[in-house]
Structure 1
């Protein structure tokens, strides 16, 4: 046997083995889904597979229906080495087609999806008389010809509509919108619209936003208003009229003004192009700082805790801080303000692995309230942050219900995981993001890029603060943290530079595992000292430096001049519950980009040339009321 024949024989052997492995995995997956379905309802099983297991909808339906369509044929499917597309086609086939395909497989016939389609078509025609078959075929030919003619007419209509809407999409002069040329053009296009699509489109209020019916109703109503000269322009002249956008969408093309390649923005949008946000469960302002940097102006920030609300007012006196439980607020009046983003960090304790994980049974669970807030405000987008535990299997049903609520409000929803260490934050902090875009928003959300090269370690982040009270060993401590190896689960060194463990709130002594995690990084996480360590403290046996509130705040990416109101416990709570500002900024920029069609120079936006952090030793945090004097540089 020559070398080519040997290679082909070896390849055949390997490929057949892989095919057997693949079909085995398909059957094992079907068996697992069957077990799941026996323990829950089909609806719950579907939501669990989609939300918790991230299974695509196309695969999900195949596995869920496998037990009612193909169960008992596992051995035949395995011996035939069927692919997943064939299994999917068999599951969706009618019983007669499925029966014949399985019979053919029993005699060794090789079956693919094309063959299944042929069998289905032949069986359907076999049930008809010759005359019916001929009529059906001629009907298909006629329908195809009609589609071609309609397609030509639609293409011609789109060309005319594009030329018309292109001249109006960015028009801001009300006089131009009621000119004779515009009204006559609208009348001509309205007649063409009716000849193609009819006149029964309902009203905008009768159709669901984000659906094609809503788009058609909005476009039709806009044409009639333009023809009558009654189209009301948005109060904000910087915004495009949604009806004109709907007309532009019908053309299948982007506005000419948006075609040229524009360089990525290196700084935030000017004041008149900033977007409007409402934030709930705002805490100490970490997310608010980031969203502000990303180009969002806060119409209101809602926070229940009096100390956190005071922190917001102290640092940003111009912010509209509402100190209230969101359950007591009617958000419907904000709908008239065309809010772009609703954001917030609902309490994470119901889902935290450090707590009891009661989920929906925890009275602090506000996730259902987020659905109400979104439905009442109807923003273009929403962003809610929580802990990794939200995706634990025991919360799957509850989370699925929440996601269903968002979708019923007219939003496309995505769940993403994000790590703070990928954004220059020296902390191991994994978070879950719920991001939704209203269905009439034409953009698509994309997560911000990761910046592995910006990885910051615990030592470099805190060295100046550790040395602030005269500890001469601070530099050596920082160097050791910088050089400390990071291991994966297999014990392999994957990086250098220790990260802080997740900053949590402070109540009593730390748990053993938490103390051990911090101890491995030479940090005593117990307590909350007022000042950085001294040489005298460092001389004691077993010394490890503890973290002051200011150190914790910096590890959470707060600027050194951001002050906190309250006692030690209140400040620790605010810091531990916060969203790191740069993380919020990155996600905020991604949302801004998805709804406004802009691109960013990410490095310039997240790490501007002028450092935001003051290069000075900040004073320690003052508890029970913060001294808010500006920081004074110690440089001479």
Structure 2
């Protein structure tokens, strides 16, 4: 039997943060020649894990600097993948969302990187607010500029005028020296085995000369399957050894839904959505004072309280989206709602589990800063799934 060993493929990552997307790409076999991140705390987290000997990040070359100052001429090798998550605040529904008027909009820098590096493929992640109606023209501009990266804006040309030129060029059918086939989709991380309802826009492009016929991986997990395992077979409660008398009543809206569609649920069952309980069931209560020593980052944080709009994540559902926040970490989105009605803050380790960081990946900063880094990250599992699909097409 012949065994084929895949060679590492080379990548560059911009706006790395704490490393969720980069880690997923590394698991898919991409070798990062450079990772660019301005935030000193995120760089500190990665370097701390390098010192701890975490294999996935051990050979990363971190450049702590503004991406606008990075010199791509220093990269002499051909790049297979350019990846990154430009700051999401310019488009975030929860933030100030200034879009193209926001100085934090780093998409122009991503365009610059594509032109300079000519990667075989690129992968971008951003918030679902990018698809908001009042941003739709700018989103079209992003897609067309990525499709035709060498059609540069003229000096002092407004982006709307540049968009018009891009549209004319795109519809003309003229060939480009450098062009990309670009695909985008709004993905919910819960549909791919992440214990979190996290909707994000992913944009993937393959260089046109590769003629890649790529599409996003199909969902592997469904809410319908979780409903089936909870309320039809009871497998979910049995797996977690929840006695019948301790199981919650089926919600009335869900009961009505089952009455309408129950007969059709079985045919659609794949793997069930993962819940918060699935993700953290084997972690002991953080209120045990010895736990913090035994399990890094699993430290109890007192003071959580529930109020309208901030009720925490139910234990037996996928978590609400973990957020970084514009004016500090929003505590309501980072709380756990227990079946007895009590709430408490998630520990850093629990939040890292919900973002599918490995347990040996350590967050050395305080709770607020660590939760900000985790809330900004791409779930490692989802990043790996997409990067693996991209890698398989590049290997072909």
Alpha-carbon contact 1:458-1:497 (below 8 Å) kept? yes
Aligned to 2:346: 547
Alpha-carbon offset, residue 443 of structure 1 = 2.1
Alpha-carbon offset, residue 421 of structure 1 = 0.8
**Is the counterpart of residue 588 in structure 1 residue 387 in structure 2?**
yes
1:418 match: secondary structure:
strand
**Is the counterpart of residue 347 in structure 1 residue 163 in structure 2?**
no
**Is the counterpart of residue 402 in structure 1 residue 142 in structure 2?**
yes
2:32 pairs, out of 298, 306, 314, with: 298
**Is the counterpart of residue 322 in structure 1 residue 63 in structure 2?**
yes
* Deviation by residue 1:96-148 (Cα, 9 ceiling, x = unmatched): xxxxxxxxxxxxxxxxxxxxxxxxxxxxxxxxxxxxxxxxxxxxxxxxxxxxx
* Deviation by residue 1:12-55 (Cα, 9 ceiling, x = unmatched): xxxxxxxxxxxxxxxxxxxxxxxxxxxxxxxxxxxxxxxxxxxx
Distance 1:466 1:362, change over 3 A: farther
What are the within-5 Å matches in structure 2 for residues 150-299 of structure 1?
270=5, 273-299=7-33
1:499 pairs, out of 306, 312, 318, with: 318
Alpha-carbon offset, residue 317 of structure 1 = 3.7
| Structure 2 unaligned residues grouped into runs of 5+ | 50-56, 150-178, 222-270, 290-314
| Structure 1 unaligned residues grouped into runs of 5+ | 1-261, 472-495, 524-537, 598-636
1:363 match: secondary structure:
coil
2:355 pairs, out of 553, 556, 564, with: 556
Alpha-carbon offset, residue 560 of structure 1 = 1.1
1:590 match: secondary structure:
helix
TM-score of the aligned structures, taking structure 2 as reference length: 0.67
Aligned to 1:451: 220
Higher strand fraction (1 or 2): 2
Alpha-carbon offset, residue 508 of structure 1 = 5.4
Cα distance in 1 for partners of 2:64, 2:18 equals: 12
1:576 match: secondary structure:
helix
Alpha-carbon offset, residue 522 of structure 1 = 3.4
Alpha-carbon contact 1:307-1:565 (below 8 Å) kept? no
* Deviation by residue 1:202-261 (Cα, 9 ceiling, x = unmatched): xxxxxxxxxxxxxxxxxxxxxxxxxxxxxxxxxxxxxxxxxxxxxxxxxxxxxxxxxxxx
**Is the counterpart of residue 418 in structure 1 residue 187 in structure 2?**
yes
Alpha-carbon offset, residue 567 of structure 1 = 2.9
Alpha-carbon offset, residue 399 of structure 1 = 1.8
Aligned to 1:566: 365
1:322 match: secondary structure:
strand
Runs of 4+ in 1 over 3 A off after TM superposition: 468-471, 506-511
Distance 1:329 1:574, change over 3 A: same
What are the within-5 Å matches in structure 2 for residues 43-58 of structure 1?
none
Distance 1:332 1:400, change over 3 A: farther
Cα distance in 1 for partners of 2:37, 2:344 equals: 33
**Is the counterpart of residue 462 in structure 1 residue 280 in structure 2?**
yes
Alpha-carbon offset, residue 580 of structure 1 = 0.6
Alpha-carbon contact 1:301-1:319 (below 8 Å) kept? yes
What is the root-mean-square deviation of aligned Cα atoms in Å? Answer: 2.6
Cα distance in 2 for partners of 1:291, 1:543 equals: 38
Cα distance in 2 for partners of 1:345, 1:284 equals: 11
Alpha-carbon contact 2:335-2:345 (below 8 Å) kept? no
Alpha-carbon contact 2:286-2:347 (below 8 Å) kept? no
Higher helix fraction (1 or 2): 1
Cα distance in 2 for partners of 1:310, 1:407 equals: 35
Q: Which entry has the higher C-alpha Rg, 1 or 2?
A: 1
Distance 1:276 1:469, change over 3 A: same
Aligned to 1:356: 96
2:338 match: secondary structure:
coil
Alpha-carbon offset, residue 429 of structure 1 = 0.2
Aligned to 2:264: none
**Is the counterpart of residue 442 in structure 1 residue 176 in structure 2?**
no
TM-score of the aligned structures, taking structure 1 as reference length: 0.42
Cα distance in 1 for partners of 2:374, 2:330 equals: 16
Cα distance in 2 for partners of 1:384, 1:332 equals: 22
Aligned to 1:313: 47
Provide the aligned length of Structure 1 versus Structure 2: 285
Alpha-carbon contact 2:328-2:368 (below 8 Å) kept? no
Alpha-carbon contact 1:423-1:454 (below 8 Å) kept? no
